[in-house]
């Protein structure tokens, strides 16, 4: 018995050590889990290609470069081991991949959480595929390029032209030094790279729609290949107990409807999640593919100028979260850091976040689902010229991939494709926003769309404005409807009049506060307006602004800037390193307030 215990302990220690050797070792796609997978994070080789001559030099055939980099951290970051801060227009990655022998006969897929901005993959020198879009996930079917039981050489080429105006950049600074509200850049691989094996007739994806009013879960499956002799068995569980089960043909035209008699809804107050198990089975009921998932049954909709959650009016008290980290830039150092950011926000009194100018990884959405945290999903639209047709082409394909990847996460309650679009042209911009709205609604009709947060609205389900007025009396006046029914708008109704949508101030505050000289991140420390002279003045101004918003019955939610300091922008509730900055009891008491009206 003692010998067996010692062996078990050694195995556990070995597992722990191996897990620690691979950064971000957790499964990257928590809503669609297969057991047969390999994490490819860790040490890769790399080289920069500033002259863009790598293809001429046949670097796609390289067996290794001189530099070492830790994936999935970008080369600008400390965690990558590189910390190159200047612009990187081209670079190459390389590593060996080992394909398990028991993957023989399987479909083998190479996955990328995200690579900024364009990526090409080569295996043993052969071109595998190309992807454009710096924040959306993608994959390549590499079955025909690899042999089970053998090693292969994987090379990734990356191209990044941030200043071209053709690609989304978000808060990446287009000048050498970070300044104002623009920060350190992210180039190349910045999310997990991994391989998985699946049946050739396995499940490729699903769209899950929760129909609260009809008490049912509706699932639209898509398969790698269809086979009428196979079936899809879907099982819905509540803490291990089967709630519903349905078997349908393994065809893309199939719809699986699961009735749920006693619905447990998902909300920030009670983030209940059902387990979902997908099994592709043959005519003898033998399982050939298994995917584990989960679902939160919730409904988000609009009636008049109110947002409803689960058929009840719901006031959103959001915080702006930009998802930057001192050591990882766009990449959280660990999975626990993603969870911790949400816990910090909830501790400050918020019930959700506007995820600002960055597409967050799936693990963040998983923790939001688990912890009960509303989010608005937003593209990294800045740096993309919203008057340029080629930029539109790049944007709409990337945005479509984002929606398809994330539309099953219950915590996401709003789509925001654009932010602060000012001075657009009269033809291309309104046409493009209309296309974006229609595309988004077509891919997901269940959530409201905020077409251009604090910018020029064209067609939108929410009317959002940004205002950093620090005087609470003036802020209340600004947010009061005028005699003609108009309300404050950042764009002065250039293309569309206000039509009674829910009206939210989804950026306000931004009050700069630096606790001590040692906390000053930069000589160009930045925030909105004049900084308070004392801590008490900070609390007074903050509470005054929140009270002003809560007093306006025409305003149905807010988003405070911001959760943490980010580099030189020092207006967060927490410091950039996530340490405390204020008395959190006082902060929570302010943001826990709710309006008296209904």
Tell me the residue length of the chain: 598
Residues linked to residue 453 through DSSP beta bridges, in sequence order: 419
3-state secondary structure 513-581: CCCCHHHCCCCCCECECCCCCCHHHHHHHHHHHHHHHHCCCCEEEEEEECCECECCECCCCECCCCCEC
DSSP 435-477: HHHHHHHHH-TTS-B-SEETS--SS-SSEEEE-----HHHHHH
Radius of gyration from C-alpha coordinates of the chain: 25
| 3-state SS assignment for residue 405 | helix
What is the β-pairing status of strands 216-223 and 256-259? antiparallel
Dihedral (Cα; 249, 252, 254, 259), 10-degree rounding: 110
Asked if 408 and 206 count as a contact pair (C-beta separation under 8 A), the reply is yes
CA-closest candidate to residue 146, choices 188, 186, 109:
109
Tokens 């043959």 — which residue? 282
Residues linked to residue 390 through DSSP beta bridges, in sequence order: none
Tokens 């699903």 — which residue? 206
Would you list the domain boundaries of the chain?
Answer: 19-198, 213-295, 306-591
Per CATH, the number for 19-198 is 2.60.120.260
CA–CA dist 364, 558 (Å, integer): 21
Dihedral (Cα; 516, 519, 525, 526), 10-degree rounding: -80
Residues 6+ apart with CB under 8 A from 150: 98, 99
CA-closest candidate to residue 448, choices 594, 574, 556:
556
Question: Helix 362-371 to helix 335-347 angle, to the nearest 10 degrees?
Answer: 40
> Which helix (H) or strand (E) is 118 found in, with range?
strand 118-123
To the question of pTM greater than 0.75 for the whole model, the response is: yes
Q: Is the peptide bond before 117 cis (omega within 30 degrees of 0)?
A: yes
Dihedral (Cα; 549, 555, 557, 562), 10-degree rounding: -50
Residues 6+ apart with CB under 8 A from 145: 123, 124, 126, 128, 152
Q: What is the pLDDT along the chain (598 residues), one digit of tens a residue?
A: 443 444 333 334 333 334 458 999 999 999 999 999 999 999 999 999 999 999 999 999 999 999 999 999 999 999 999 999 999 999 999 999 999 999 999 999 999 999 999 999 999 999 999 999 999 999 999 999 999 999 999 999 999 999 999 999 999 999 999 999 999 999 999 999 999 999 999 999 999 999 999 999 999 999 999 999 999 999 999 999 999 999 999 999 999 999 999 999 999 999 999 999 999 999 999 999 999 999 999 999 999 999 999 999 999 999 999 999 999 999 999 999 999 999 999 999 999 999 999 999 999 999 999 999 999 999 999 999 999 999 999 999 999 999 999 999 999 999 999 999 988 999 999 999 999 999 999 999 999 999 999 999 999 999 999 999 999 999 999 999 999 889 999 998 899 999 999 999 999 999 999 998 788 777 788 889 889 999 999 999 999 999 999 999 999 999 999 999 999 999 999 999 999 999 999 999 999 999 987 6
Half-sphere exposure of 159 (CA within 13 A, CB side): 17
> Which helix (H) or strand (E) is 69 found in, with range?
strand 67-71
Q: Convert 521-531 to b/e letters by CB count within 10 Å (16 or more is b).
A: beeebbbbeeb
CA–CA dist 396, 436 (Å, integer): 7
Tokens 């060996």 — which residue? 96
C-beta neighbour count of 578 within 10 angstroms: 17
pLDDT of 203 reads 98
| 3-state SS assignment for residue 350 | coil
Residues 6+ apart with CB under 8 A from 18: none
DSSP 508: E
> Angle at the Cα of 27 (from 22 to 32), degrees rounded to 5?
160
pLDDT of 526 reads 85
CA-closest candidate to residue 137, choices 172, 158, 111:
111
CA–CA dist 46, 64 (Å, integer): 8
C-beta neighbour count of 519 within 10 angstroms: 16
Asked if 142 and 194 count as a contact pair (C-beta separation under 8 A), the reply is no
DSSP 297-352: B--EEEETTEEEETTEE--EEEEEE---BTTTBTS-SSHHHHHHHHHHHHHTT-SE
> Would you state the structure tokens that stand for residue 529, as one six-digit string?
């307006």
Per CATH, the number for 213-295 is 2.60.40.10
CA–CA dist 254, 231 (Å, integer): 10
Task: Please tell us whether the domain made up of 306-591 is placed in CATH 3.30.420.40.
Answer: no
pLDDT of 567 reads 96
Asked if 388 and 396 count as a contact pair (C-beta separation under 8 A), the reply is no
CA–CA dist 119, 156 (Å, integer): 7
CA–CA dist 332, 3 (Å, integer): 40
What is the β-pairing status of strands 555-561 and 316-321? parallel
Asked if 244 and 210 count as a contact pair (C-beta separation under 8 A), the reply is no
Tokens 């592709």 — which residue? 280
Cα–Cα distance list, 424 to 394, 452, 487 (Å): 18, 12, 21
CA–CA dist 22, 40 (Å, integer): 8
Residues linked to residue 168 through DSSP beta bridges, in sequence order: none
């Amino acid at each position: 018995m003692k010998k067996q215990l010692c062996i078990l302990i050694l195995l556990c220690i070995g597992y722990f050590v191996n897990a620690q050797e691979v950064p971000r070792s957790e499964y990257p796609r928590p809503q669609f889990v297969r057991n047969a997978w390999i994490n490819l994070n860790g040490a890769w080789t790399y080289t920069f290609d500033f002259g863009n001559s790598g293809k001429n030099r046949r670097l796609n055939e390289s067996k290794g470069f001189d530099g070492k980099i830790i994936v999935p951290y970008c080369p600008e970051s400390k965690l990558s081991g590189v910390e190159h801060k200047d612009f990187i227009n081209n670079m190459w990655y390389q590593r060996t991949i080992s394909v398990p022998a028991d993957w023989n006969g399987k479909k083998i897929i190479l996955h990328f959480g995200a690579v900024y901005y364009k990526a090409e993959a080569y295996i043993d020198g052969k071109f595998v595929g190309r992807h454009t879009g710096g924040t959306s996930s993608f994959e390549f079917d590499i079955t025909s390029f690899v042999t089970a039981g053998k090693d292969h050489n994987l090379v990734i080429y990356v191209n990044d032209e941030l200043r071209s105006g053709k690609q989304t950049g978000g808060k990446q600074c287009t000048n050498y030094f970070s300044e104002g509200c623009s920060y350190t850049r992210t180039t190349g691989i910045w999310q997990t790279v991994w391989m998985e094996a699946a049946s050739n007739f396995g499940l490729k994806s699903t769209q899950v729609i929760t129909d609260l009013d009809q008490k049912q879960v509706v699932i639209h499956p898509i398969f790698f290949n269809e086979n009428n002799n196979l079936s899809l068995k879907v099982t819905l569980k509540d803490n291990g107990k089967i709630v519903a089960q349905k078997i349908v043909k393994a065809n893309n035209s199939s719809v699986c409807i699961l009735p749920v008699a006693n619905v447990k809804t998902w909300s920030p107050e009670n983030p209940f999640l059902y387990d979902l198990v997908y099994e592709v089975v043959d005519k003898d009921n033998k399982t050939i593919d298994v995917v584990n998932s989960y679902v939160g049954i919730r409904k988000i909709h609009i009636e008049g100028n109110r947002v409803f959650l689960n058929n009840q009016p719901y006031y959103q008290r959001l915080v702006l979260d930009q998802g930057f980290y001192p050591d990882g830039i766009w990449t959280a150092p660990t999975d626990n850091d993603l969870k911790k950011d949400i816990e910090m926000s909830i501790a400050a009194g918020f019930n959700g976040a506007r995820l600002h100018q960055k597409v967050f990884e799936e693990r963040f959405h998983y923790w939001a689902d688990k912890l009960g945290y509303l989010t608005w999903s937003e593209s990294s639209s800045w740096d993309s010229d919203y008057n340029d047709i080629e930029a539109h082409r790049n944007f709409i394909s990337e945005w479509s991939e984002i929606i398809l990847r994330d539309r099953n996460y219950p915590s996401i309650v709003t789509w925001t494709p654009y932010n602060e679009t000012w001075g657009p042209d009269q033809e291309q911009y309104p046409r493009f926003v209309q296309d974006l709205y229609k595309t988004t609604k077509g891919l997901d009709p269940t959530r409201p769309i905020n077409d251009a947060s604090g910018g020029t609205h064209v067609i939108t389900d929410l009317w959002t404005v940004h205002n950093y007025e620090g005087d609470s009396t003036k802020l209340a006046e600004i947010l009061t409807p005028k005699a003609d029914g108009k309300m404050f708008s950042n764009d002065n109704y250039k293309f569309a009049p206000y039509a009674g949508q829910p009206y939210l101030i989804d950026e306000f505050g931004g009050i700069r506060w630096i606790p001590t000289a040692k906390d000053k991140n930069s000589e160009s420390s930045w925030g909105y307006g004049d900084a308070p002279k004392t801590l008490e003045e900070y609390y007074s101004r903050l509470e005054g602004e929140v009270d002003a918003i809560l007093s306006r019955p025409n305003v149905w939610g807010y988003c405070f800037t911001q959760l943490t300091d980010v580099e030189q922008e020092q207006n967060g509730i927490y410091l950039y390193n996530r340490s405390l900055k204020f008395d959190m009891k006082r902060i929570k008491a302010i943001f826990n307030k709710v309006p008296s009206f209904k």
